[in-house]
Structure 1
């Protein structure tokens, strides 16, 4: 019996994707090896070439295959890769913070050089909102804090940096709400870190890239130190 016996009607693309993935995992086509052509796969699966094409596209998105123009489709992994969002959710917060610092410190430096008047106004609003959130609960305070950091990143005018930061936001928010309570960061000071964030905004405003990067690096390092000591 062929390892790719014909499929029964249902979501054919999903079935084709699953069947090809199963055969890759079983070693039918080893990593580095070339898959049969679309016509051959379609014949074995009993589906049209368009279905095979969509299945291969899905497998490429999962990191299992790669199309090489003029050469065919090759196996790159024997199991689906974990997407970035899932990897972040699984990561230790300390590791997330280390990468966050790499992204944000550079973004702060760029923001100091590239920001415009609209960015300055947005930073002022975000800083004011963060201070006002001192009267709110931890979740609202964290939301306002992240919003200010996102505004600094946006002022760098680099969409790739903005997209990278956006990937961190969900896991940051969840973990930071827990962290604020765990470390008692707002005990005695509901506006925790306001002076530092005001200093960051001012450094960006006066276009002092070195100071902006240093202020943010020190602020994130301080939080990371607290986190590692917890």
Structure 2
């Protein structure tokens, strides 16, 4: 597939699309070294700075990689979908299964690593969840997730914290749908208070296994409800 010169407009976007087409079309396969910036600029009829920006965009999409002193190589034939986009498209049951692994492990770490400040924040988050029981479903779900986020923060692992933060937008929307659809708070506006209290108490006692067990049971119950929908 020949590379025709392109007309000025959004030059970077056009150059990026042309280079992407060469890769997805199989002209430059995975592992191939791309021509140099000067050659690409001549082929596309644009300046080297435009080519540089186009290559940077393709690198951001996970399709190419610059190797110092060697050049730019093709990494993938298709753009790599961003994690946040993949999460939004994923089935809530799949998200919840991963959440379970992340949070149960975080609860164990929190029980062994929590500081005095963490305990204060955990108790405050538990009280906010109880206060939110007097409000609407949206406020209650938000307070519930905030308590879980506080548990993850008490693990003092930035990777776990970052993973959970990525889950929050998806969880908040889907859990609100679940609460409203199943009417989980009709009989008990503070649904799950006993389990969350037990979780906080286990972390206070530095009972890692107890914290993991309580949280796993709670998340498994919710996952079973999601599977039943």
TM-score with structure 2 setting the length? 0.94
1:8 positional shift: 2.7
Q: What is aligned with 2:126?
A: 127
C-alpha root-mean-square deviation of aligned residues, in Å? 1.5
1:56 positional shift: 1.2
Q: What is aligned with 1:20?
A: 19
Q: What is aligned with 2:6?
A: 7
Q: What is aligned with 1:38?
A: 37
Q: Aligned with 2:167: secondary structure?
A: helix
Q: Aligned with 2:133: secondary structure?
A: helix
TM-score with structure 1 setting the length? 0.94
Q: What is aligned with 1:172?
A: 171
Q: Aligned with 1:135: secondary structure?
A: coil
Distance 1:5 1:17 in 2: 13
**Residue pairs, 1:13-162, within 5 angstroms:** 13-162=12-161
Report how many aligned residue pairs link the two structures: 229
Distance 1:85 1:35 in 2: 29
**Gap runs ≥5 in structure 1:** none
Q: Aligned with 1:66: secondary structure?
A: strand
Q: Aligned with 2:73: secondary structure?
A: strand
1:51 positional shift: 2.3
1:196 positional shift: 0.4
Distance 1:42 1:205 in 2: 62
Distance 1:7 1:165 in 2: 44
Distance 2:102 2:30 in 1: 33
